[in-house]
Amino acid sequence: MSATALKDYKNLVGGELVDGVDGATREILNPATGEVVARVPEGTAADVERAVAAARAARIGWRDTTPGERQERLLAMADVIDRHSEELAALESLNVGKPRSLAAEELPICADELRFFAGAARTLTGSSAGEYGKGYTSFVRREPLGIVGQIAPWNYPLMMAIWKIAPALAAGNVVVLKPSELTPISTLRFAELLADVLPAGVLNVVTGDGPNVGEAIVRHPEIAMVSLTGSVATGKGIARAAADTLKRVHLELGGKAPVVVFDDADPKAVAEGLRVASFVNSGQDCTAAARVLAGPGIYEALLEELVPATASLVVGDPAEGESVEMGPVISARQQERVLGFLDRATSAGAEVLTGGSAGRDAGFFVQPTIVASVDQQAEIVQSEVFGPVVTVQRVDADRAFALANDVPYGLAASVWTRDVGIAMEAVRQLDFGCVWVNDHLPFLSEMPHGGFKESGYGKDLSIYGLEDYTRVKHAMIKLG
């Protein structure tokens, strides 16, 4: 994109498209080329203050809509996604560097999530009504919390924003959302398209970085809840900062998903599964299949399938065409971080079976990489790399679940076996919020997504996600 085509985006506050309060802007890059493709407002605490004021003005009106009215608005939001899916997919591909086909697949999912929460808005009920004390009747109400602050990551910018916005609005909350400072443009465009769909102030989108805009959201006394999708370090900082106002915290954080492969699995099927599950979105996926723990009887056969399958991935700038299967990582900093993990691992004796370097001069690329000869306590096994890097360990069946669980994270895991008894035992023993059997990565609007341990707390998607954006009130009425 040439400098003349550079687009300036605005924030959505109180139903108006506005520049930042102090007028500063940030340049947004295409990670496949390093070129500037857009400019967005660079916010400060003053932008959060203005957005909270707009949310405050909208709060009671939105709270008092019926669930059916909220359903209609969410269905209209889904229709906006459908009508503009090509444009939104193109923006997502440009800003995140993901293949157009992958970005295009995300849009119907976004619309489906909005439609799920549109319907779910009408299902909220209190769980209990009855005469629990003599002479009294009690019932439970589920209410919105009020103003919810939401902070999104850069890997699936629009989809993560929708995972947050949809349940919050369905439950009757108003929102102040901050996209990632690296990838705000699809969310800003969506917000622009929603200006006439939602009442003014119900959804406010404010751009800026974590220390300025993010922290102002977390510390704001009128914001009742903050929800983050991001790294563990950011999540811990937010939980600490939120303690000062005792706001509710909802954290979807990093992962280091194990892939436990028993000797009776089909090595070709595992390799085909991991070709997608480990490298989709350049491995920048919180549930990415990152650690293979393979039984001694399948280890060699699996590598014989997995290494060529990985090496066959077509890496490139998504603009080069539909054949590109994997783009760059998000930034020069992230590229340096991923390559740093690989340098330290190889210095400690790890063996790179394919990939291992940037592979291109322009853009922020990392080759799809398989690393073997790693110890359980190695940094590359214990820490989230968040790039196209998979470790492979040979493990005996009796230690497989213990080693799978032996990381600080607990977001997602998969087990590959033909034995239903082993599969059921895996589901029971694996300490992760989602366990797949003979697959890795799919998710559903109806089913909860969220982690254990340092992967955070709170659920996205599903009725559990909706409930997380509500508070429970006991009403107790004296009879007679």
Catalytic residue list: 252, 286
Q: Which is nearer to ligand NAD, 155 or 354 (CB)?
A: 155
CA distance 86 to 183: 17
The verdict on 238 binding ligand NAD (CB under 6 A) reads yes
Residue 123 CB-density burial (10 A; 0-12 exposed, 13-18 middle, 19+ buried): exposed
What φ, ψ does residue 218 adopt, rounded to 5°?
-65, -35
Q: Which stretch binds ligand NAD (CB under 6 A): 187-195, 222-230, 358-366, 439-447?
A: 222-230
- Residues in the interface with ligand NAD (CB under 6 A) total 32
**Strand blocks (E) in 382-429:** 389-394, 409-410, 412-416
Q: Which is nearer to ligand NAD, 75 or 109 (CB)?
A: 109
Q: Which residues contact 64 (CB under 8 A, 6 or more apart)?
A: none
Q: How far is the CB of 184 from ligand NAD (least distance, A)?
A: 9
Looking only at the bridges linking them, the beta strands covering 136-144 and 129-130 are antiparallel
Q: What is the DSSP letter of 211?
A: I
Q: 313 and 281 in contact (C-beta within 8 Å)?
A: no
Q: Which is nearer to ligand NAD, 70 or 449 (CB)?
A: 449
CA distance 60 to 62: 5
The verdict on 173 binding ligand NAD (CB under 6 A) reads no
The verdict on 210 binding ligand NAD (CB under 6 A) reads yes
Q: Which is nearer to ligand NAD, 70 or 459 (CB)?
A: 459
The verdict on 41 binding ligand NAD (CB under 6 A) reads no
Q: Which stretch binds ligand NAD (CB under 6 A): 140-148, 174-182, 318-326, 368-376?
A: 174-182
Q: Which stretch binds ligand NAD (CB under 6 A): 73-81, 89-97, 123-131, 246-254?
A: 246-254
Q: 280 and 290 in contact (C-beta within 8 Å)?
A: no
Token readout for 78 is: 């889904």
Q: Which is nearer to ligand NAD, 154 or 416 (CB)?
A: 154
Place of tokens 């890795």: 440
- Using DSSP's 3-state secondary structure scheme, residue 138 falls into strand
Residues 283-342 within binding reach of ligand NAD (CB under 6 A): 286
- Using DSSP's 3-state secondary structure scheme, residue 307 falls into helix
Token readout for 95 is: 């800003």
Residues 448-467 within binding reach of ligand NAD (CB under 6 A): 451, 455
∠ at Cα 227 (211, 117), nearest 5°? 145
Among 211, 221, 421, 480, binds ligand NAD (CB under 6 A): 211
CA distance 249 to 391: 32
Q: How far is the CB of 450 from ligand NAD (least distance, A)?
A: 7
Among 47, 92, 113, 215, binds ligand NAD (CB under 6 A): 215
Q: How far is the CB of 153 from ligand NAD (least distance, A)?
A: 3
Task: Give the other-Cβ count within 10 Å of 453's Cβ.
Answer: 18
Q: Which stretch binds ligand NAD (CB under 6 A): 36-44, 251-259, 340-348, 374-382?
A: 251-259
Among 229, 367, 414, 417, binds ligand NAD (CB under 6 A): 229
Among 33, 137, 231, 382, binds ligand NAD (CB under 6 A): 231
Looking only at the bridges linking them, the beta strands covering 434-437 and 389-394 are unpaired
- Residue length, the chain? 480
Q: 335 and 367 in contact (C-beta within 8 Å)?
A: no
The verdict on 386 binding ligand NAD (CB under 6 A) reads yes
Q: How far is the CB of 255 from ligand NAD (least distance, A)?
A: 5
Q: How far is the CB of 412 from ligand NAD (least distance, A)?
A: 9
Number of H helices, E strands in the chain: 15, 22
Q: Which is nearer to ligand NAD, 139 or 464 (CB)?
A: 464
Among 71, 155, 414, 462, binds ligand NAD (CB under 6 A): 155
Print the binding letters for residues 388-427 with ligand NAD: x by CB under 6 A, - otherwise. Answer: -----------------------x----------------
Q: 289 and 387 in contact (C-beta within 8 Å)?
A: no
- Using DSSP's 3-state secondary structure scheme, residue 436 falls into strand
The verdict on 384 binding ligand NAD (CB under 6 A) reads yes
Among 110, 152, 329, 353, binds ligand NAD (CB under 6 A): 152
Distances (CA, A) of 174 to 72, 148, 149: 16, 6, 9
Among 20, 99, 144, 254, binds ligand NAD (CB under 6 A): 254
Largest CA distance in the chain: 80
Q: Which stretch binds ligand NAD (CB under 6 A): 54-62, 100-108, 111-119, 152-160?
A: 152-160
Distances (CA, A) of 146 to 59, 169, 206, 222, 318: 6, 10, 18, 9, 41
Among 144, 146, 255, 356, binds ligand NAD (CB under 6 A): 255
CA distance 475 to 477: 7
The verdict on 92 binding ligand NAD (CB under 6 A) reads no
| Interacting residues with ligand NAD (CB under 6 A) | 151-155, 160, 178, 180-181, 209-211, 214-215, 218, 228-231, 234, 237-238, 252-255, 286, 384, 386, 411, 451, 455
